[in-house]
């Protein structure tokens, strides 16, 4: 522990002030009772000096620096004028309070004033040197007690801080896990259920047997894919030892090119012309490839939801030595569809978080005659 941290101001708990006040009150009451019954070596002057010193000790327990300063100044002045006996009685608790609560610099000042006080006692009141030495020993004892209490308090504060940090870390981990689960649920449910809802509408309106058969096939495929993704997600949540858990590298079947072909097929089934541009020699880390697949999936879902009847859509992957980009764009539909699908608003937020993991960013917005989603990654970061 650094000295600057150890000797900083350390406020006393409120219960310390209350305990000191109770002890001082008991001592003062006993002193006045002893004086009242005229016990030997008692006087009202001593009783009132005990009361005054007790008040200073109580004030020091509430305001350590100010109380100690007043105590020492009054002690020096009073010994220069008369011989109060109460001040040495309070030297141990006073030294302990100062060492426990005040800064290192103030402790030095208090120590210097204590030396001045002892010199005044020797010179003015003709105290013997061993009496002053005894008071000095009591000061050292009280200061040692206060420093021990300071060390214990600092340790408790550090432990409390560590516990608080651990709690905050745990809460943050729980929050991050909830976000991850929410993102996984969105990825699993939104895309496939959008397809199922659209094809169910086709079944309601289509009269051609071939169209109805294609819609039923699409619903079946989307349902099976949703179940597969749900099993994968449950395997991730239960851990790698869970029955049926999917290895990390296989959590999404197919590479980027294959999955984009599947997404394009869904758009073509809705009458949207699709163009795909992917470099034939593209090789990506699996984790980044999964992120790109999720981005393409979310963009495809949004096209199905909000751009039905669009004349064209385009998937473009561009890669060079410095960066990699995936752009999914679509034209505005000639007319708005009467089919409305709810939107959670979490999709793009989750995609931005995924992209940020790899130092990438996602830009979305209107383009000439349509809409675009563009994800860009630095090749070195990938």
Question: What is the fold, at CATH topology level, of the domain defined by 256-382?
Answer: Heat Shock Protein 90 (3.30.565)
Query: In this model, does residue 298 exceed pLDDT 80?
Result: yes
Residues 297 and 259: beta-carbon distance below 8 Å: yes
- Label residue 134 exposed, middle or buried (CB < 10 Å: 0-12, 13-18, 19+): middle
Q: What digits encode the pLDDT tens for the residues 1-36? A: 566 666 777 788 888 888 888 988 898 898 889 888
- Between helix 104-124 and helix 64-81 the angle, nearest 10°, is 10
Greatest pairwise CA separation for the chain in angstroms: 121
Whether 382 and 324 have beta carbons less than 8 Å apart is answered as yes
Taking only the tens place, the pLDDT of each residue in 176-196 is 777 776 776 666 667 777 778
Higher pLDDT, 58 or 204: 58
Q: Are strands 361-367 and 370-378 parallel, antiparallel or unpaired?
A: antiparallel
**CA distance readout (Å), 44 to 1, 79, 85, 368:** 49, 18, 12, 99
Domain boundaries, the chain: 3-127, 256-382
Cβ atoms 198, 191 nearer than 8 A? no
The tens digit of pLDDT for each residue in 245-297 reads 444 444 445 689 999 998 999 899 888 999 999 998 888 887 788 889 989 98
Burial status of residue 229 (CB atoms within 10 A of its CB: 0-12, 13-18, 19 or more): buried
Quick check: helix, strand or coil at residue 371? strand
Alpha-carbon span 377 to 360, nearest angstrom: 4
* Number of alpha carbons in the 13 Å side-chain half-sphere of residue 152: 9
Name residue, tokens 């999964």: 290
Q: pLDDT digits over 320-369, tens only?
A: 888 899 999 999 987 765 555 555 555 667 778 778 877 889 999 999 88
């Amino acid at each position: 522990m650094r000295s600057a941290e150890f000797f900083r101001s350390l406020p006393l708990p409120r219960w310390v002030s209350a305990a000191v006040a109770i002890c001082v009150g008991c001592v003062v009451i006993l002193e006045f009772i002893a004086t009242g019954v005229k016990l030997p070596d008692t006087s009202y002057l001593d009783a009132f000096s005990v009361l005054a010193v007790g008040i200073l000790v109580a004030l020091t327990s509430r305001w350590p620096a100010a109380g100690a300063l007043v105590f020492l100044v009054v002690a020096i002045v009073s010994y220069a004028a008369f011989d109060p006996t109460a001040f040495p009685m309070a030297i141990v608790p006073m030294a302990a309070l100062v060492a426990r609560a005040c800064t290192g610099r103030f402790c030095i000042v208090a120590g210097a004033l204590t030396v001045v006080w002892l010199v005044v006692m020797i010179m003015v009141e003709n105290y013997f040197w061993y009496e002053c030495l005894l008071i000095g020993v009591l000061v050292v004892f009280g200061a040692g007690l206060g420093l021990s209490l300071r060390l214990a308090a600092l340790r408790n504060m550090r432990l409390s801080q560590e516990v608080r940090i651990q709690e905050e870390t745990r809460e943050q981990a729980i929050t991050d896990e909830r976000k991850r689960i929410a993102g996984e649920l969105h990825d699993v449910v939104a895309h496939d259920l959008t397809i199922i809802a659209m094809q169910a509408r086709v079944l309601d309106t289509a009269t051609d047997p071939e169209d109805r058969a294609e819609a039923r096939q699409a619903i079946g495929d989307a349902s099976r894919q949703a179940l597969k993704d749900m099993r994968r997600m449950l395997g991730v949540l239960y851990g790698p030892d869970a029955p049926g858990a999917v290895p990390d590298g296989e959590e999404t079947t197919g590479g980027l090119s294959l999955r984009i072909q599947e997404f394009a097929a869904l758009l073509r089934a809705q009458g949207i012309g699709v163009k795909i541009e992917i470099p034939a020699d593209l090789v990506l880390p699996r984790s980044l490839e999964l992120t790109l697949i999720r981005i393409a999936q979310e963009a495809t879902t949004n096209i199905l939801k909000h751009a039905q009847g669009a004349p064209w859509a385009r998937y473009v992957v561009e890669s060079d030595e410095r960066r990699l980009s995936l752009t999914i764009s679509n034209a505005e539909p000639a007319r708005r569809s009467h089919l409305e699908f709810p939107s959670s608003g979490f999709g793009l937020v989750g995609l931005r978080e995924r992209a940020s993991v790899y130092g990438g960013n996602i830009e979305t917005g209107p383009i000439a005659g349509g809409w675009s989603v563009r994800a860009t990654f630095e090749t070195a970061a990938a």
